[in-house]
């Protein structure tokens, strides 16, 4: 009798352990929590969430080593997920679904990580002071005509680092350095705040154009804040470099941690986030572009039209992060 009870207890513990996935995530959006609940309902697997910055989570996983509880690392930038790979904290993911669903340029060549959402880095502009015909490319923003008119965040923002890294990959360090110098010379003010603050600064007349991520535009345009919605009435969205390389794309991406105790659950979790249902929620609620081509985008994203993406392999861009930071420091971007 005691042996039967012991076996039942052991079986219950095994079931409990197999019914969880521990996710270390930098994402901080309400839609994610909704998706985790749906995942639990559909699979029985509970998502235990630890939130912090990507850099903090990478250090934590490194420090925890083989004793880590992390199964999945979810970051919001390719530079960060490539940093995690360089630290050896991932293991290859075997998933025919992910290989079929996630385009090759949005995933690691060694299958250590897969992109799950896309965010385009665009030029936002004041529709009252700037004609769409005046806009063309990221590089054109270094022209003298934009002196004192360009708004942008600090170089510490990973999205700026990845954009500059893409210039290093496609045109070399000299081109990237000249671009950073040119933008610094044309800044409307010293870099400050986040992308949303640049959009507010356009409406306030501080500058005419800003380099921002598309999903921030969506969040403000359809958000709860009346002030933000009013701000967005004065702002247009332009997808640069349509005649050349295409608009720069970044991702949220995920990988399975090397010492994961729930590897299969982790793969199921990442596959779920790449599914049509989850992808459409990302697009409808958080205004991110889906990586799954079967997923529909939101009406707002549709209203901006189709655009040519820069399809440079993101793992190559992620590897140039350190050089990008050095260039920003060299040109005195934040000064």
- Per-residue pLDDT averaged across 26-47, rounded? 96
Is 243 a member of any domain?
Answer: yes
Task: For residues 217-237, give the mean pLDDT.
Answer: 94
Question: Virtual CA dihedral for 198, 289, 25, 79, nearest 10 degrees?
Answer: -70
Residue 149 lies in a domain: yes
Question: Quick one: 35 and 86 in the same domain?
Answer: yes
Three-state SS letters, the chain? CHHHHHHHHHHHHHHHHHCEEEEEECCCCHHHHHHHHHHHHHHCCEEEEEECCHHHHHHHHHHHHHHCCCCEEEECCHHHHHHHHHCCCEECCCCHHHHHHCCHHHECCCCCCEEEEEEEEEEEEECCCCCHHHCCCCHHHHCHHHCCCEECCCCCCHHHHHHHHHHHHHHCHHHHHHHHHHHHHCECCCCCCCHHHHHHHHHCCCCCEEEEEHHHHHHHHCCCCHHHHHHHCCEEEECCCCCCCCECEEEEEEEEECCCCCHHHHHHHHHHHCCHHHHHHHHHHHCCEECCCCCCCCHHHHHCCCCCECCCCHHHHHCCHHHHHHHHHHHCCCC
**Half-sphere exposure (CA, 13 Å, Cβ side) for 136?**
8
| In a shared domain, residues 240 and 125 | yes
In-domain check, residue 224:
yes
Specify whether 170 is located in the same domain as 88. no
What percentage of residues in the chain have a pLDDT greater than 70? 95
Nearest to 125 by CA among 136, 112, 117, 115: 136
Q: Is residue 169 pLDDT above 80, yes or no?
A: yes
Examine the domain organization and report whether 56 and 133 are in the same domain.
no
- In this structure, are 196 and 287 located in the same domain? no
> 101 lies in which domain range?
19-118+251-296
Mean pLDDT of the chain: 94
Cα separation of 116 and 273, whole Å? 7
Give yes or no for residue 15 having a pLDDT over 90.
Answer: no
Are residues 165 and 222 both part of a single domain? yes
Residue 7 has pLDDT above 50, yes or no: no
| Mean pLDDT in residue range 142-148 | 98
282-290 mean pLDDT: 95
In angstroms, the Cα distances linking 316 to 10, 122, 277, 313 are: 47, 21, 29, 6
272, 276, 280, 286 alpha-carbon torsion, rounded to 10°: 30
103-141 pLDDT, tens digit each: 999 999 999 999 999 999 999 999 999 999 999 999 999
In a domain, 94, yes or no: yes
Question: What pLDDT score was predicted for residue 17?
Answer: 46
pLDDT of residue 14: 43
The answer as to whether 302 is a domain residue is: no
Q: How far apart are CA 224 and CA 210, in angstroms?
A: 23
Same domain, 30 and 130: no
Read off the pLDDT of residues 78-89 as tens digits, 9 standing for 90 and up. 999 999 999 999
pLDDT band of 244, cuts 50, 70, 90? very high
- Euclidean distance between CA atoms 114 and 92, whole angstroms: 10
Quote the pTM value: 0.91
pLDDT reported for residue 2: 43
| Domain presence at residue 64 | yes
* pLDDT digit string, tens, across residues 207-216: 999 999 999 9
Are 324 and 187 in the same domain?
A: yes
Residues 232 and 124 in one domain: yes
pLDDT at 18: 57
* Count of structural domains within the chain: 2
Show the CA angle centred on residue 65, arms to residues 64 and 67, nearest 5°: 70
User: Is the Cβ–Cβ distance between 176 and 327 less than 8 Å?
Assistant: yes
In a shared domain, residues 31 and 44: yes
Whether residues 138 and 218 share a domain: the answer is: yes
**Is there a domain that residue 208 lies in?**
yes
- What is the pLDDT confidence band of residue 90, given thresholds at 50, 70 and 90? very high
Tell me, yes or no, whether 263 lies in a domain.
Answer: yes
* pLDDT, average across residues 291-305: 95
The yes-or-no verdict on residue 1 having pLDDT over 80 is no
CATH number of the domain enclosing 159: 3.40.190.10
Q: Note whether 147 and 205 are same-domain residues.
A: yes
The percent of residues above 90 in pLDDT, for the chain, comes to 93
């Amino acid at each position: 009798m005691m042996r039967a009870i012991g076996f039942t207890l052991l079986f219950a513990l095994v079931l409990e352990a197999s019914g969880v996935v521990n996710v270390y995530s930098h994402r901080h959006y309400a839609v994610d929590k909704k998706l985790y609940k749906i995942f639990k309902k559909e699979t029985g697997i509970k998502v235990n969430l630890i939130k912090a910055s990507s850099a903090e989570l990478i250090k934590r996983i490194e420090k925890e080593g083989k004793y880590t509880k992390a199964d999945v690392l979810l970051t919001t930038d390719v530079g960060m997920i490539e940093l995690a790979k360089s630290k050896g904290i991932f293991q290859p993911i075997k998933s025919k679904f992910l290989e079929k669903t996630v385009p090759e340029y949005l995933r690691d060549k060694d299958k250590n990580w897969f992109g799950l959402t896309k965010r385009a880095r665009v030029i936002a502009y004041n529709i009252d002071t700037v004609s769409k015909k005046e806009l063309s490319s990221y590089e054109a923003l270094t022209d003298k005509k934009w002196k004192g008119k360009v708004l942008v965040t600090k170089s510490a923002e990973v999205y700026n680092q990845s954009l500059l890294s893409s210039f290093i990959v496609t045109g070399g360090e000299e081109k990237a350095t000249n671009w950073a110098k040119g933008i610094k010379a044309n800044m409307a003010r010293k870099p400050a705040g986040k992308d949303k603050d640049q959009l507010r600064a356009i409406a306030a007349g501080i500058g005419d154009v800003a380099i921002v991520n598309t999903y921030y535009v969506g969040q403000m345009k359809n958000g709860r804040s009346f002030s933000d919605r009013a701000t967005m009435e004065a702002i247009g969205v332009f997808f640069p470099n349509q005649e050349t390389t295409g608009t720069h794309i970044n991702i949220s991406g995920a990988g399975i941690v090397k010492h994961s105790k729930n590897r299969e659950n982790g793969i199921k979790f990442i596959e779920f986030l790449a599914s049509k249902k989850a992808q459409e929620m990302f697009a409808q609620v958080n205004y991110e572009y889906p990586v799954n081509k079967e997923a529909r985008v939101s009406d707002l994203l549709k209203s901006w039209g189709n655009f040519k993406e820069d399809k440079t392999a993101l793992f190559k861009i992620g590897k140039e992060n350190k050089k990008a930071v050095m260039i920003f420091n060299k040109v005195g971007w934040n000064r």
